[in-house]
Structure 1
Amino acid sequence: MPAPEQAVLITDDDVRISAVHLSGTDSRSRERVFVVAHGFTGSWRRPAVGAVMAGLRGHGGVLGFDFRGHGSSAGLSTVGDREVRDLEAVLGWARRLGYRRIVTVGFSMGGSVVLRHAALYDGVAAVVAVSAPARWYYRGTPPMRRVHFAIERPAGRVLARFVTRTRISPQEWNPVPLAPFEAAAAIAPTPLLVVHGDNDPYFPLDHPRQIHHAARAPKELWIEPGLGHAENAVGAELLDRIGRWARTHTEG
């Protein structure tokens, strides 16, 4: 099996993005690739994200990357706004590698990004949003109040930089980007899978239900018993089911 291939990609607003390509383990899936969009403070080098990438390799190639302001990428995080440009740069690499069917799989913040990206850009065969928020500025749980402290306060941004290597822009959104549930309404006929745990400490179940309700068919909602939040919670069995769902919806 070929060794992982690393690359530095350039977005259309000139931000350097660290990315990696893993070939699939199934020769029947050489035309399909999963692009894994990590959550806030994540990186493709984190073990949890690596486990997600490994879990999807049986169903196609896999591309991982660091959003701007995260890990080895340049720039500053805009926490879901300009990150659609990062994702589009990675999709450009996927096309250059010869993949014809691109499945975006986003976790938490990455889930909001894959929804917004599919509403704004063409060329995605299927979208999977795991543990994604439905709307912005949600502060209804203690973990999300801590996230907003990191985003909005100078001391929080300093802490995020040194503890998680996440560099956050101090600028407020202007304009406020399309909310994830609003984006979900605009991606049909691209198939959408919404996955959420009933034990998610960040976003309660009204978030996935709002996304799913807003979307048009083809769409599915999986509420996973006992599942927590994002990359750190998913296991091999769920990843295999996601891979099989993607295969079913991108064949032909």
Structure 2
Amino acid sequence: MADAFVVRGGWAGHRPVEATELFLPYLARNGFDVHVHDSTAIYADQAVMAGTDLIVQCVTMSSIEAEELAGLRAAVAAGTGFTGWHGGIADSFRASSDYLQLIGGQFATHPGKEPGCRVQDETDNFLTHTVAITPLGRDHPITAGLTDFDLTTEQYWVLHDDLIDVLATTTHPVQPWHPWHRPITSPAIWTRQWGAGRIVVTTPGHSLDVLANPSVRTVIERGMLWASRTASAS
């Protein structure tokens, strides 16, 4: 049986407990012995991490100790899969450049509605946008068979490097109240090979209803299986 760690915490607004609980039965059904951790301290345990096949992280913002991050990076480089969604992976540990390098992309912002339409709650940042499957994504096991889909939720603007394989994108349009002058396309779903390990990042997932979207849930679930050491070794 493969071992999976679910590591959760950080900013409570992303409901890390409830969000990760959605996927525990799926992992169990697919042959994982699932261990839930409410702290990144487990990353510093080299012996335990060496035997871990998959890490599902849901820790928005927060901070990470140097020995914890070193343990995470070493485990992924040695073959442990690493995946997550939204701020739980793409907006974790903002002060850690080594974490940003590991992931290959970082949340920068989520543009909001027209100022006159804002009501001063989180829905001010909910925009209807398209997640567009790339040519690579059409054939990739994580996104094969999926078509472009629309969401009304936070639309992540992501800063990224060229070592990611982009399976889907989202484009931020030009609006009169924004300072940019041409559309900006950000990766919405990507993979990354890091040493012997596989990383999968899915940027949608702000709230439980988004995680329940069939396309979003399919990507996250397939990404868990694809990232796992047991899959990458086959």
TM-score bracket for this pair, using the shorter chain length? 0.3 to 0.5
Query: Which TM-score applies when normalising by structure 1?
Result: 0.42
Query: Which TM-score applies when normalising by structure 2?
Result: 0.44
Greater percentage in strand = 2
